[in-house]
Amino acid sequence: MRTEVTTITPEMAKEMLEHNYEGNRNMRKAYVTQLAYVMQSGRYMSENGQTIVVGEDDGVLYDGQHRLAAIVQSGVPQTMLVVRVVDGKEAYKTIDNGAKRTAADFIKLPDRNNAAAVARAMACVEWGDAPLLSCLQGRMSVKAPIDRGLVVAYAGQHGDEINESVRNGRAMRESLGCGAQSLYAFFVMLVRYCDMDAFLDEFIEEFTKVASDNLTVTACKAVIMKTAAKKSAKLDRKWLLGTLLDAYYHFCEMDGSTMLNHQSQRLTAYAKYVQQRRNETANSDTDKE
């Protein structure tokens, strides 16, 4: 076995792919697009010890086809560890036989599954360019789902905020007994990210009471529980997020409204807030350059 650290250009990657092992699984185009998006964003970590495996004598590519295809698609060179093995066909039989790791496996936070779910959605919100509702589905762009490495990186950078949102999300969920805890936590993170959190702590406090004095909060909890009782499946995440945002809007307005039927309007408003923050961040980065 011979190893070398190599900066692989798109041209080199294309040539290596021309010798792709015929036994390799079919190329997953969506995954290639995902990796290419991360490479173009400059956040792809290629020097992580993961290898490109090539036959020493035959030059056949036995492992790394998706990463190489992403280099070609992105047009961005990547420095990687290339391993050349004597018997590539025998080595191929042992590649990728371990259990698949999820982002939660790498996140060192107390409630790592919910933390990973929040980190996934918020990384898409902050670092991607997909619409808000696509971010809920873990998409960095319309075509590319988020890479696991970015989820882990976001969790590492925002651990305290994620922990707080997960705690609040758990309390909100427990006060109702329905809905995904990670969705309540995402609601908290989203409102803070959009800088609309002037009354958020008060809203959470009222929401988690056994019996709130606020008519809007009481109505919000009632409509969520009523909807959950009608559905055998899980509550629709888009509807639940819109309902929470609508209730929070009326709570901030202090109008005592119990008519919470403007979910789409609130989601549209927050989608604009997200884009505004993205533009501010982009302009800030340009000024630094």
Say what the pLDDT of residue 28 is.
82
Q: Give the whole-angstrom CA distance, residue 85 versus residue 93.
A: 13
**How far is residue 142 from each of residues 23, 37, 167, measured CA to CA in Å?**
31, 11, 30
Render 135-167 in DSSP notation, one character per residue: HHTTBSSSS-BPPHHHHHHHHHHSHHHHHHHHH
Q: Which CATH number belongs to the domain containing residue 7 in this structure?
A: 3.90.1530
109 and 87 in a common domain:
no
184 and 129 in a common domain:
yes
| β pairing state of 2-8 and 61-63 | unpaired
In a domain, 231, yes or no: yes
Q: How far is CA 198 from the centre of its chain?
A: 26
Q: How would you class 10 by CB atoms within 10 Å of its CB: exposed for 0-12, middle for 13-18, buried for 19 or more?
A: middle
Say what the pLDDT of residue 233 is.
55
144 and 46 in a common domain:
no
138 and 266 in a common domain:
yes
202 and 61 in a common domain:
no
Q: The pTM is what?
A: 0.75
Say what the pLDDT of residue 100 is.
59
In a domain, 252, yes or no: yes
Say what the pLDDT of residue 140 is.
86
* φ, ψ at 181 (rounded to 5°): -60, -40
Q: If the chain, 289 residues long, is cut into consecutive pieces of 10 residues, what is the mean pLDDT of each piece?
A: 91 94 83 86 81 89 92 94 83 60 74 93 92 92 82 90 96 93 96 96 96 95 91 81 97 95 96 93 65
The domain total for the chain is 2
Say what the pLDDT of residue 232 is.
59
2 three-state secondary structure: strand
151 and 253 in a common domain:
yes
140 and 66 in a common domain:
no
140 and 46 in a common domain:
no
256 and 148 in a common domain:
yes
151 and 229 in a common domain:
yes
Dihedral sign from CA coordinates of 156, 161, 167, 169: negative
Q: Which residue has the tokens 């190489």?
A: 68
Domain hosting residue 24, numbered range? 2-92
116 and 80 in a common domain:
no
In a domain, 282, yes or no: no
220 and 156 in a common domain:
yes
Q: Give the whole-angstrom CA distance, residue 49 versus residue 3.
A: 11
102 three-state secondary structure: coil
